Amino acid sequence: MMSIRRQLLLALLSVSTLATLVGALATYRTAREEASALLDYQLRQLALSFRDQARHGTLRHEYGGADDVEEFAVQIWAADGTRIYLSHPRQELPDQVSLGYATVDSGHGQWRVFGLQQAGQVIQVAQPMHLRDRLALAAALRIVAPFLLLLPVLGVLLWLVIGRGLRPLVDVARAVSARNAIALDPLPARQVPVEVMPLVVALNDLLLRLRRALEQQRDFVADAAHELRTPLAALTLQVQLAERAADGAARAEAFADLKGGLQRATHSVQQLLTLARLEPGASEPASQTVDLRQLAAQVIADHLPLAEARRIDLGASPQQQPCIVSGDPDALRILLANLVSNALRYTPAGGRVDVVTGSADAAPFVEVCDSGEGIPPAERERVFDRFYRRAPAGEAGSGLGLAIVRSIAERHRARVLLEQADLGGLRARVEFPPPLPA
């Protein structure tokens, strides 16, 4: 599992190590330049010193031991190119070179050489180049060594500091773990670091939406239980009446009432199941291309028997051009079926119900107009509440039809408008957003 703490620790240690190595490299180069300048000065001073000794005849045949070559070596050449003096005969020293400073390769390593001329003789002082490298490397190690020794301590300190910096995330995780379906209070946002604040805000927004969804679910279950209690009690009473019927006619009437009650209860349960599928948290509608003209024709065909039984003129007024929306075909069919069913329920015998499809400003719409009594403007928002009924005498409704219509419309980013129809009743219009350009 990925660990932010471990990643930060490795990143910080890597950056610190890289910075130390870069500093050591810069120190090495600077120290080598300074050492070269200093040692070049020493070579010149040694050459001048040997010139004075040669002038007074005080030169020794061999200067020092074999280890002194680590510091310097001296050669003196006669005017004819013959070497007349060598401070370290047992060492492989470079041959005579030009006067001044030079860097030469003797075959056994590089040498830094300084030569000057005295009375026809050439005095040459040489020094191994690795001495300069060793001095520069020692200066660089003085920087790197303490860091390498303190690297484990630095790692522990960084681990503790990073853990302290990530503690707000741990606190947020504990606060979220303490929440349940009953306690969905927002997380405290005080004393929260700026970097963690977006996470807290997003979680609080999620908790708020979850709390609202659970409240809606609880309200739905409570309302559904209340609404089903009455038809179930009525069914029980009708069964008892059928059992107590004195003759066949009374029993037949009781069974007819029982059948009607079962149909109404079945319709209510179907509406409740439909609304439950549209609750928050349900899956998003499958995005398919739906032609509202064809959908209207299917819904009208399904409701023609009911319209003929009520002697209502049910028809369609589609536009010529296609009326295409993107959404769930089954959900859109339920939406339009509820609008048509409500229109037939509220339209008296001999009335008229029209289903109109079309586009306005490139936005598709479908509307159902009836010649019923309509809905007063003051109640046009309330009718979308669950279980709110305005059923006329002799009609039984669940009060869920328009609630289902609005839920489906919202899932398709559409809006539902209730207005006065030209036929005298209600016009229920569903406007969909314009299709996205291809």
Q: Is residue 271 domain-shared with residue 306, that is, in the same domain?
A: no
Closest by Cα among 313, 432, 326 to 371: 313
State the Cα–Cα distance between residues 430 and 303, nearest whole angstrom.
19
DSSP class of residue 361 equals T
Q: What percent of the chain has pLDDT over 90?
A: 7
Same-domain status, 311 and 271: no
Question: Do residues 268 and 227 touch, judged by C-beta distance below 8 A?
Answer: yes
The residue among 256, 277, 298 that closes a domain is 277
Which of 153, 171, 206 is the C-terminal boundary of a domain?
A: 153
Report CA 21 to chain centroid distance, whole Å: 36
Question: Among residues 37, 150, 106, which one has the least CA distance to residue 29?
Answer: 37
CA 48: distance to chain centroid? 75
Check if the beta carbon of residue 53 is closer than 8 Å to that of residue 165.
no
- Rounded to 10 degrees, what is the CA torsion of 255, 256, 262, 266? 150
Dig out the tokens for 382 from the structure.
Answer: 């309330």
Find the length of the chain: 438
123-158 tens-digit pLDDT? 888 888 888 888 888 888 887 888 888 888 888 888
pLDDT of residue 61: 47
Boundary of a domain, candidates 277, 310, 341: 277
- The values of phi and psi at residue 416, to 5°, are -110, 130
CATH number at residue 303: 3.30.565.10
Q: Are 210 and 186 in contact (CB under 8 A)?
A: no
pLDDT of 240-272, one tens digit each?
777 777 777 877 877 777 777 677 677 667 666
What is the mean predicted confidence (pLDDT) over 96-101?
Answer: 76
Per-range mean pLDDT, top range of 73-82, 106-115, 133-142, 221-230: 133-142
* Alpha-carbon span 76 to 96, nearest angstrom: 9
What's the CA gap between 23 and 52, in Å, rounded?
A: 43
Q: 149 and 12 in one domain?
A: yes
Closest CA to 299 of 344, 257, 265: 344
| pLDDT tens sequence across 370-396 | 998 888 888 888 888 776 766 554 455
Residue with tokens 């919202």: 410
Q: State phi, psi for 76 to the nearest 5 degrees.
A: -125, 130
109, pLDDT greater than 90: no
Q: Are residues 301 and 394 in the same domain?
A: yes
DSSP bridge partners of 428: 368, 418
- Tell whether 126 is covered by a domain: yes
Same domain, 54 and 120: yes
